Amino acid sequence: KAGVTQTPRYLIKTRGQQVTLSCSPISGHRSVSWYQQTPGQGLQFLFEYFSETQRNKGNFPGRFSGRQFSNSRSEMNVSTLELGDSALYLCASSLSPGEVGELFFGEGSRLTVL
Amino acid sequence: AQTVTQSQPEMSVQEAETVTLSCTYDTSENNYYLFWYKQPPSRQMILVIRQEAYKQQNATENRFSVNFQKAAKSFSLKISDSQLGDTAMYFCAFEGQAGTALIFGKGTTLSVSS
């Protein structure tokens, strides 16, 4: 069974641009969560989607948005990029939101903002 | 709000030795879940071990075990017979009510040398 797939793995953008990251969950998993990982802040929760609906949202500005498609694939978008958005963005999937702690992570998309 | 604190940013150990990683958390909830995740260099994060707060018995998974002290809000991870493959960043995580987002500590980088 294929794991969680994130694309692209690496990308470089400049301030003011926008970026879209993609996440394909494990087959059969319907819940997708996104986390931002930085050396200073660690892992911070961005949002969670289930059945194309956002269930939870972390404390991030409105520049960060996401969506989920009917096939459970998810995308997150960051607009008007800032230097501080440089981070590893991790996607995790689970069968459903009730699957306590059973998150399966992708390898992440490493974003560098210049 | 719940918080998770890992007070050891880095630790080193020799192969075959035992090492303990510390984690404390703060919550007013009585029912919750605690986890240790492992993130090897440039690889995806995986679940190492989980503990339900209502269980008094400490969880064990092969060489990995936890010392869960509910009253002290402490949740340490013990790795026995350390192996080179244990080299990774380890994250302690908390989940309150089922279906809420995981809250992670800032991680402990563990280096195992021969």
pLDDT above 70 for A100: no
pLDDT above 90 for A109: yes
Say yes or no for a CB contact (<8 Å) between B44 and A107: yes
Phi, psi dihedral angles at B99 (to 5 degrees):
95, -5
Q: How confident is the model at residue A101, as a pLDDT?
A: 64
Which of A68-77, B5-14, B99-108 shows the lowest mean pLDDT across its residues?
B99-108
Chain A residues in contact with B44 (beta carbon < 8 A): 3-4, 105-108
Q: How confident is the model at residue A99, as a pLDDT?
A: 65
Q: Using CA atoms, how far apart are residues B102 and B84, in angstroms rounded to an integer?
A: 28
Q: How confident is the model at residue B100, as a pLDDT?
A: 75
**Token pair of A47, please?**
């949002």
Residues within 8 A of B (CB atoms), A 17-76 only: 33, 35, 41-45, 48, 55-56, 58
- Angle formed at CA B104 by CA B101 and CA B110, multiple of 5 degrees: 150
Say yes or no for a CB contact (<8 Å) between A101 and B44: no
pLDDT above 70 for A1: no
**Within 13 Å and on the Cβ side, how many CA atoms surround A110?**
7
pLDDT above 80 for A96: no
- Give Cα B13 distance to the centre of its chain: 17
Say yes or no for a CB contact (<8 Å) between A105 and B44: yes
pLDDT above 80 for B2: yes
- Of B12, B13, B27, B4, the closest CA to residue B76 belongs to B4
Min Cα distance B10 → chain A (Å) is 13
Report strand pairing: B74-79 vs B103-104: unpaired
Convert the pLDDT of each residue in B48-105 to its tens digit. Answer: 999 999 988 999 999 999 999 999 999 999 999 999 999 999 999 998 876 678 899 9
